[in-house]
Amino acid sequence: MIVQKTEIVKEGKTESLVFKKKVSKKGPGSKDNEPFYNPSMELNRDLSIVVNQWIINNCKKHVHLLDGLGASGIRGIRLANELDGDFDVTINDWNEQAFSLIKKNLELNKLDNVIVSHKNLNALLSENKYHYIDIDPFGSPAHFVDSAVRSVYNNGFIACTATDTAPLCGIYPNVCLRRYGARPFHSYVMHEIGLRILLGFICRGAAKYDKGVKPIISYSTDYYFRVYVKIRNGKSYANKSMENFSVISPKEIFISSDDNEHDIGPLWLGKLHNKNAIKEIRTLLFKKELNTKNSLWKLLSLFEEEANAPPFFYTTDDFASFLKMAPPKIDKIFEKLTGKGYKVFRTHFSPTGFKTNAPLDEIKKVF
């Protein structure tokens, strides 16, 4: 019955059976009963291939990977089929149809390094430990972060997607407060704020168990956030991480002039990416067959540039509109600020965005 309603898609070098009518070009996904496949998440899955190859290459022992919310199983099946090294993959989904489809995809690809599991992810995480845990839900990953933090091995990784961008970007601030315990702020920097709220939530969740976090890659697109975070056991790592967990006032980052405006957060104010890791991950792109290789190359270059930038950005449009002038060319702003000895960085959050260590008055002068 499943075979009649499915079609085969090819991502990377892997063919997978997916449900036909669930194919959508955009959007966070569906909550009905059939396993969901979203073709627009291919870049997201391609990136998990190179990140996991990097994890396996850097780990001296057998690595246990988990695709915790598998749906068709495409992500986990691809990990099992496209990675080299000493590892196994568990693919889990509590949905009956998803469980059958994952098993079909396993047969299709003739893989012997996969364990298929049919459990509530939180129960699975309470029973087992993994070096890499992928959480790719419909909506918020908030319900799974606590068990993932407990389950992950020391120096292991948690990757999670959040498609609940509306709460995290401040369209539904009360939902954000309930889910993440943080206040968002709807503004031109809302995506960076949302991403940092998600990272802050993981940081706080880990610190509770005396674990620290180190973001490897964190990014936002129009309709989802995605983070790869390394988890390290120990009170000192937890304390160090918590130094980056704080609130910030909208005035401080130039998105409001109102003294009575509420603080934003608490959120993560540390680095979004790890520059050295990204350099190594980027070189692995050449060794893999990936349809989104060129886009990923560009995106990773941007993350690498952004890695050591201070938090939050300005856009030439918003700054110019504040000063009631026409927006200048971004290259000119870079030229002038670097000419004055300041650091300026491009950012993946906006094509007209820039991050800088220059004080506000200097930026105003340059504009």
Ligand X SMILES: C[S@@+](CC[C@H](N)C(=O)[O-])C[C@H]1O[C@@H](n2cnc3c(N)ncnc32)[C@H](O)[C@@H]1O
CB 244 within 8 A of CB 268: yes
Please give the residue ranges that form the binding site for ligand X (CB under 6 A). Answer: 29, 35-37, 41, 45, 69-72, 74-75, 92-95, 98, 120-121, 136-138
Cross-strand bridge partners of residue 24: none
Q: How far from the centroid of its chain's Cα atoms is residue 83's Cα?
A: 20
Residue with Cβ nearer ligand X (13 or 365) = 13
Among positive and negative, which fits the CA dihedral 13, 18, 24, 29? negative
Residue with Cβ nearer ligand X (249 or 292) = 292
The number of beta carbons lying within 10 Å of the beta carbon of residue 259 is 7
* Least distance between ligand X and beta carbon 249 (Å): 35
Residues in the chain: 367
Q: How far from the centroid of its chain's Cα atoms is residue 97's Cα?
A: 27
Q: What is the distance between the terminal CA atoms of the chain, rounded to a whole angstrom?
A: 64
* Least distance between ligand X and beta carbon 347 (Å): 26
Q: What is the DSSP letter of 252?
A: T
CB 91 within 8 A of CB 67: yes
* Least distance between ligand X and beta carbon 308 (Å): 31
Structure token digits, residue 344:
């300026």
* Least distance between ligand X and beta carbon 122 (Å): 6
* Least distance between ligand X and beta carbon 95 (Å): 4
CB 344 within 8 A of CB 334: yes
Residue with Cβ nearer ligand X (290 or 344) = 290
Distance CA 78, CA 55 (A): 15
* Least distance between ligand X and beta carbon 92 (Å): 6
Cα atoms in the Cβ-side hemisphere of radius 13 Å centred on 89: 29
Residue with Cβ nearer ligand X (30 or 113) = 30
Helix or strand or coil: residue 35?
A: coil
Q: Which residue of the chain is nearest ligand X when measured via CB?
A: 69
* Least distance between ligand X and beta carbon 253 (Å): 32
Residue with Cβ nearer ligand X (136 or 164) = 136
Residue with Cβ nearer ligand X (41 or 272) = 41
* Least distance between ligand X and beta carbon 173 (Å): 24
Residue with Cβ nearer ligand X (26 or 60) = 26
* Least distance between ligand X and beta carbon 101 (Å): 9
Helix or strand or coil: residue 16?
A: strand
Residue with Cβ nearer ligand X (74 or 366) = 74
Strands 264-268 and 245-248: antiparallel
* Least distance between ligand X and beta carbon 360 (Å): 41
Cα atoms in the Cβ-side hemisphere of radius 13 Å centred on 51: 30
Residue with Cβ nearer ligand X (160 or 207) = 160
Residue with Cβ nearer ligand X (28 or 353) = 28
Distance CA 187, CA 210 (A): 34
232-235: Cβ within 8 A, 24+ apart:
232/154, 232/155, 233/154, 233/155, 234/210, 235/210
CB 162 within 8 A of CB 225: yes
